Structure 1
Amino acid sequence: MTTMPAPIAKKKNHTHEIHHHQRSDDYFWLRDDNRENPEVLEYLDQENNYTEQQLQPLQALQTSLYEEMVARQEPELESVPYFKKGFWYVSRYDEGKDYTVYCRYEGTMDAPEQIFLDCNQRAEGHEFYQLGDLSLSPNSMLMAYSEDTVSRRQYTLRIKDLQNGDDLNDVIEDISDVVWANDNKTIFYVKKHPETLLPYRVYRHILGDDINNDQLIYEEFDDTFYVNLYKTRSEQYLVICIDSTQTSECLILDANNPEGDFVSFMPRQRDHEYSIDHFQDKFYIRSNHSGKNFALQTSTQLTQTDCSAWKTLIEAREDTLLEGYELLNEWLIVEERHAGLPQLRQINHLTGESTILAFNDPVYTVFSHYNPDPATTKFRYQYTSFTTPSTIYELDLNSGETTLLKQSQVMETPEGAVFTSDQYQSERVWVTARDGIKVPVSLVYHKSHFNHNNPLLVYAYGSYGYSMDIGFSSANLSLLDRGFVYAVAHIRGGEELGREWYETGKLLKKQNTFNDFVDVSKSLVEQGYGDKERLFAMGGSAGGLLMGAIINQAPELYKGIVAAVPFVDVVSTMLDESIPLTTGEYDEWGNPNDETYYHYMLSYSPYDQVTKQDYPSMLVTTGLHDSQVQYWEPAKWVAKLRDVKSDDNQLLLYTDMEAGHGGKSGRFKHFEDTAREFAFLINLAK
């Protein structure tokens, strides 16, 4: 077989200039906002063909991995039923189907089944399908649902009459959120900007009216803010939530008066983040006004100009981050994060009695499940760890008794491998970074394969204050069973250790994120968790930026890299306000129109810092329709790497021509991508 040469992208001179500084961008021509340029599409096809040929020797392994991953899934999967307003609700996957079926039973689970949305039928004829919102009217007889069939996160809203199964004529394009007023005929929805895709307008629509006559209720003119909608726990108020990275404002309206005007609960103030809920005649406010790790406070006032009259239920604490809460008649359930781990705490409204739920795994994730009835004393929560499949429990808040409702099953593989949790070991270790800060790391491996000389895969994200919670992955068993140690580095830029952990990993402190990852990688090898010749790294989106930065700064450490939908052309993107998400992220990365931020961002931008040196083997993936990280970022990056790098290691670009930021849709299709990535890593680890 003739070996296909690696594609060489043409160079077309293009220069960016700002702050009296010029940047050469020879691959700027790969940007095509319409995704129709034949020259660009041909180049992406060439890269895909080259990747396919390079991975052809791994086809048997890739197929085997895919079959393992699919085989481990339960053939049929059904949710735990819940009761709300006269109906029992269940969602399920039918055997061999890719998408969810939503159904309900009136009064009792023995009643006839009513399927009110079959996403398998809705997905027919589409290469991609994703359900967005699914919202029932207050009387449970109408359903608003939104769908994306392009993978640009631009959803089309429809209304279905659940009594006869027919869709109404009301169809609204390019929306994000939808919420019902209490009259069962008025909906409010958020419209996205046609160019930037920012959610920026709220409209009111009365069923049956001409969409063109919908009333504009609110428009956000500051494009660093995002707009979303929700209804409070009491179902008494509708809330327009307006958020930037570090400032927020809530507008509220009585849900029984949809023709009324939204009013500001509290006007926005720079660096004040807050969110509200309403229950039992008072507002609950999660606010960082009194401390950066957030307090929980209450108010009986509909509007206020300051926080002085708020009553504090939970103080802001330096060592514990308040992440969320669940409001019940007799109990308050608080979701917190302490010492890098999530925890649930129950507090009795009347007595103030407080109890923290205890768990045995060294690393885990726990969070509130769906609890629609505030009158209940039975609280459902979900728990998972590296070695524990997703499990739903019901806690009797009065007695403390816990009941297992459901645990996901891991099925036998075609080779006869049977999962038991005691085959695997999870650990939490702390690594001291170069500036003395201790970084938590979560690890898992197969006990019988662990020999201190294992291939080691380190995964991280490290941006937006997003905490990398530890959960069970049946797909990862395919790596662990082949001897890999899998590590998650909880580096700065996340929020695992509170707000400070986030703030010291963004803006002009972003380099801490990259240093942490490199230092964790070195330390894990030194501690015997992996072979220094078989050290691998993986990250996606902003985690892909991380991959790009660490291979520019410490390429000699890694045998191979997987960078998924990587955000690598940082400066160019953040200078272009027409690109989705750009302006809303100035508080995350900085605004490069400011010279200080420009030069700092330039110092780590993966595309700009590519240099003539040896790089590890790399698999880079993207989606043509990605709205979060445009496909041309990884395409340009790979083109430049291939031109400049001094090694002969594999450099592969795979563009999914049908998908966006989240990859393939459906229950099983995404395993094709995972199998490709794992085959790439396993082959390098030989």
Structure 2
Amino acid sequence: MKSHLLVAGVCLLMSACSHLSGSKPPVAEKIPHVMTLHGVTRTDNYYWLRDDSRTDEKVIAHLNAENAYAEAQMAPWKHLKDRLFSEMTSRLVKDDSSVPQRWKGQYYYRRVEGEREYPIIARKPALDGAEEVLLDVNLRAEGHEFYSLGGTSLSEDGALFAFGEDTLSRRIYKIYFKNLKTGELLDDVLDNTEGEVMWANDGEHVFYIAKDPQTLLGFQVFRHRLGTRQSDDVLVYEEQDDSFYISLGKSLDDSQIVLYHESTNTSEVSLLDANTPLGSFRPFLPREEGLEYSIAKLGSSYYVLTNWQATNFRLMQVDASHSGDKSQWRELLPYDPAVRIEDMLVLKQALVLQTREAGATHIRIYRPDGSEPREIAFNENAYVTWLGSNPEQDSEVVRFHYSSLTTPDSTFDYHLGSGERELKKQLQVPGFEAGAYQSERLMLPARDGTLIPVSLVYRKDKFKKDGSNPLYQYGYGAYGAVVDPDFSLSALSLLDRGVVYAIAHIRGGEMLGRPWYDAGRMFNKINSFTDFIDVTDGLVSQGYGAKDKIVACGHSAGGLLMGAVANMAGDKYLAMHAGVPFVDVVTTMLDESIPLTTNEYDEWGNPNEKPSFDYMLSYAPYDNVARKAYPHMLVTTGLHDSQVQYFEPAKWVAKLRDYKTDDHELLLVTDMDAGHGGKSGRYRQFEDTALEFAFFLHHWGLE
């Protein structure tokens, strides 16, 4: 993080700047902004902190003042933050490589060197062959405070390499093309994109998604012919419904370019023959409200993963000539409402399903007709497994990954012929001994009697189930996303200091299938917050954590969780970290110019409608800040965040400073160079986590 020193010149730009040293918290000026809707009038005194250009001197001065104050407050434990960063980065293997993946006769992989921040993308004609570097990302990142590599893809003959770059952290990418024979970049540069192209089979045309410059939503698909200007590109599709996201892919047999259209509860797939790039995308099955599906092609038939008459999704099969007629879809496997099918891989020799049952992930392998099921078994109680990259449909091997709270990320190959599982690589962690740690899976009751899954881990020789341990509780609970119990390099710094690390799999995620998601969105959203609070009570009552040593953390929609929980039951927590928090729910969801608004009405509700407005207003963290005591709070954001705009946490902190009745620490840290994902780079990414953990350890007194 850059140092933001508060000077008199900056201070004069602030009408309410009350200090010069950073020793007192900034007091933001109140400029009433009145909003009336559905007969309800709300006054936002800090609306002025919104500056879409991010150049307003008064706004920048306030953020700098907050950063200066945070630095002053953190000075006594800066050494702890630095030590944690050193610990975390010392667990990285300096020289490392991914497991090579075969595609079209070459082996592709990424490797890292020493203390360089970014990977080198390379390939070999054989595992023992000479390396060809496709891209040294370190060289591309030179001179940029932030750098994010977008999608990478190769033409069908492997001669041209396309890659996306974002150097502002707004998730707006430029796409470049490299001639791998000469090593030179082509003159073609595509601006304002989602960051990836799909190649037509002629190696001359590519398709990409362009973004709306205001909402930052990808809404147009263009066709570009290499060697021509971007201004000459042809618009081949434009999404008219701004509640949908679109994305591009390619069928595993390389015969079709696939356009995905997805909203919260509806999806559609459109196809284009990859051999006729001048053609048009045509829907596989036109969208129907509430119907979700995805497809995989094998020969002249399609496998369809869908929620049609199946809440937790089922697998169907249909001939290509009848794809648009659901009456022709044949159920391939009997539907089991207790099994959520998450993903599928269709190979010539096998059908592979990734499922989730009672919260645990599974990988099952069948013959293409759905017969002879085999399951890859695991013996831990809190783990996650998922399908890896399998780019060749005629492969005799299935690549998958495995991780748990006590097992570093592992890559396996499953050999279809023999049924043998081969460990290809496990993340090496210097000094780590798996036997020193213990993981558990609990089911704790919520106030309505629902049992909430909880995954936790601790160091055996530091743990006593007597209610004396400090406890770190993490949650998210939105979009159906699952926070899986996988391995964390950084968490070891807490575990080794006697902290119990817990993940609350609250409603709003999909840990227990689609109904679990539906029970925590829209008019059920409050379940996410009460679940988190009830998990805290359960962990304390069972002796996993000390009542006065509980801290909580959540990011983005998990930051909304933190804000709501702080308002509802802040006295149960010693400290909280809200990262890039979505806290001004009502105002944001009323503004269609802000990214991620209209396409999230089915997640949060549309506040233009009074029932949704009233419900959202009942829990929105910013609107419900009260004159009461709050925990110690660390709030972090990025000036260029494209998902949750920086002004939401900035306004929230300003209001908290005005309302809270305690003298607990409240820090706002704005990364003036980063966006939603925080710092970039293999090492630098740990700076944010080191800050969070140091904040908690300081308040636990474990410095």
Tell me how far apart the structure 1 counterparts of residues 135 and 218 of structure 2 sit (CA, whole Å).
26
The answer for the alignment partner of 2:450 in structure 1 is 437
Does 1:135 find its partner at 2:135?
no
Aligned-partner SS, 2:455: strand
Deviation per residue, 1:602-635 (Å, 9 max, x gap): 0000000000000000000000000000000000
Question: Does the 8 Å contact 2:149/2:163 carry over to 1?
Answer: yes
CA contact (8 A) 1:7 1:50 kept: yes
How big is each residue's C-alpha offset from its partner over 1:228-260, in whole Å with a ceiling of 9 and x where there is no partner? 111011111111111111111111111111111
| Paired AA for residue 134 in structure 1 | T
Counterpart residue identity of residue 266, structure 1: L
Cα deviation for residue 111 of structure 1 reads 2.9
Equivalent of residue 129 in structure 2, options 101, 106, 111 = 111
1:635 aligned residue: 650
Query: Which one of the candidate residues 440, 460, 482 is aligned to 1:427?
Result: 440
Task: Rate the CA distance shift 1:352–1:547 in 2: closer, same or farther, 3 A.
Answer: same
Q: Tell me if 1:530 matches 2:548.
A: no
Aligned to 1:604: 619
Write the mapping of 1:333-348 to structure 2, written as runs, cut at 5 A: 333-348=352-367
> In structure 2, do the counterparts of structure 1 residues 2 and 253 end up closer, same or farther at CA, with 3 Å as the change threshold?
closer
Amino acid at match of 2:495: L
SS in 2 for 1:532: coil
- Distance (Å, rounded) in 2 between the aligned partners of 1:422 and 1:601: 46
Displacement after TM superposition at 1:351 (Å): 7.3
* C-alpha RMSD of the superposition: 1.2
| 8 Å contact from structure 2 (residues 110, 121) kept in 1 | yes
Q: Which residue in 1 is equivalent to 2:480?
A: 465
Q: How does 1:398-409 map to 2 (within 5 A)?
A: 398-409=417-428
Q: Distance in 2 between matches of 1:399 and 1:613?
A: 64
* Residue number in structure 1 paired with 2:17: none
Q: Is the 1:191–1:201 contact (alpha carbons within 8 Å) kept by the matching residues of 2?
A: yes
The match for 1:414 is none
* 2:415 alignment partner AA: D
Counterpart pick for 1:123 among 118, 138, 141: 141
Task: Quote the Cα distance in structure 2 between the aligned partners of 1:179 and 1:302.
Answer: 25
Tell me the secondary structure at the aligned position of residue 266 of structure 1. Answer: coil
Aligned to 1:582: 597
Is structure 2 residue 316 aligned with structure 1 residue 307?
A: no
Asked if the contact 1:79/1:90 (under 8 Å) is kept, the reply is yes
1:587-666 equivalence runs, <5 A: 587-666=602-681
Deviation, 1:302, is: 4.9
Q: 2:524 aligns with which of 494, 499, 509?
A: 509
Assess if the C-alpha contact under 8 Å between 1:237 and 1:278 holds in 2.
no
On the 8 A contact 2:347/2:368 being kept in 1, the answer is no
Query: What is the aligned counterpart of 1:157 among 151, 175, 179?
Result: 175
Give 1:262-411 correspondences, 5 Å limit. Answer: 262-302=281-321, 304-349=323-368, 352-411=371-430
Match of 1:482 among 487, 497, 516: 497
- Return the match for 1:539 from 546, 549, 554: 554
Q: CA deviation at 1:281?
A: 2.1
Alpha-carbon distance in structure 1 between the residues aligned to 2:228 and 2:44: 50
Q: Is the 8 A contact 1:232 1:279 kept in 2?
A: no
User: Relative to 1, partners in 2 of residues 1:157 and 1:10: Cα closer, same or farther, differing over 3 Å?
Assistant: same
**Deviation readout 1:181-211 (Å, 9 max, x if unpaired):** 1111110111111100111000111111221
Instruction: Give structure 1 regions of 4+ aligned residues with deviation exceeding 6 angstroms.
Output: none
Tell me which amino acid in the other structure corresponds to 1:608: D
The answer as to whether partners of 1:565 and 1:620 remain within 8 angstroms in 2 is yes
The 2-side partners of 1:642 and 1:351 are apart by 60
What do residues 306-347 of structure 1 show as CA deviations (whole Å, max 9, x unaligned)? 311012213432111010011111111100000011110011
Q: 1:261 to 1:76 in 2, by over 3 A?
A: same
CA contact (8 A) 2:22 2:69 kept: no
* Residues 434 and 519 in structure 1, CA contact (< 8 A), matched pair in contact too: yes
Q: How many residues are paired up?
A: 679
Superposed displacement of residue 174, structure 1: 1.1
Which secondary structure state, in structure 2, belongs to the residue aligned with residue 367 of structure 1? strand
> Given residue 607 of structure 1, which amino acid in structure 2 is its aligned partner?
Y
1:574-625: CA deviation from partner (whole Å, max 9, x where unpaired): 0000000100100000000000000100000000000000000000000000
* Deviation of the 1:86 alpha carbon: 2.1
In structure 1, the gaps of 5 or more residues are 412-417
CA separation of 1:491 and 1:351: change in aligned 2, threshold 3 A: closer
- Distance in 2, matches of 1:567 and 1:173, equals 28
Give the letter for the 2:436 counterpart.
Answer: Q
TM-score scaled to structure 2, two decimals?
0.95
TM superposition shift of 1:480: 0.4
Match of 2:584 in 1: 569
Q: State which drifts further: 37-46 or 243-252.
A: 243-252
Residue 397 of structure 1 deviates from its aligned partner by 2.3
1:345 alignment partner AA: R
Instruction: State the alpha-carbon separation in 2 of the partners of residues 303 and 609 from structure 1.
Output: 53
TM-score normalised to structure 1 length: 0.98
Aligned counterparts of 2:335 and 2:518: Cα–Cα separation in 1: 17
Could you report, residue by residue, the CA deviation over 1:414-469 in whole angstroms, capped at 9, with x for unpaired residues? xxxx2100100000000111111111000000000002310001101000000111
SS in 2 for 1:426: strand
Query: Deviation at 1:2?
Result: 7.0
- Per-residue deviation, 1:303: 6.1
Q: Could you tell me which amino acid in structure 1 is paired with residue 568 of structure 2? A: Q
Q: Deviations over 1:93-114 (max 9, x none)?
A: 11111001001112x2333221
Residue identity opposite 1:163 in structure 2: K
Q: Secondary structure at the match of 2:487?
A: coil
Query: 1:35 & 1:302 partners in 2: Cα distance?
Result: 52
Letter of the aligned partner of 1:448 in structure 2? D
* Distance in 2, Cα, partners of 1:372 & 1:228: 18
SS of corresponding position for 1:536: strand
Question: What's the counterpart of residue 570 of structure 2?
Answer: 555
Q: Please report how far the alpha carbon of residue 277 of structure 1 lies from its aligned counterpart in structure 2 after TM superposition.
A: 2.0
Indicate the larger mover: 395-404 or 197-206: 395-404
Confirm whether residue 83 of structure 1 aligns to residue 96 of structure 2. Answer: no
Report the CA distance shift for 1:113/1:650 in structure 2 as closer, same or farther (over 3 A): same
Question: Which is worse superposed, 568-577 or 8-17?
Answer: 8-17
Q: Does 1:187 pair with 2:202?
A: no
Asked whether the equivalents of residues 130 and 665 of structure 1 are also in contact (C-alpha less than 8 Å), the reply is yes
- Work out whether 1:72 is the aligned partner of 2:85: no
Query: What is the deviation of 1:350?
Result: 5.5
Q: Is residue 446 from structure 1 mapped to residue 423 from structure 2 by the alignment?
A: no
Is the Cα contact below 8 Å between 1:178 and 1:189 reproduced in 2? Answer: yes
CA distance in 2, matches of 1:613, 1:316: 51
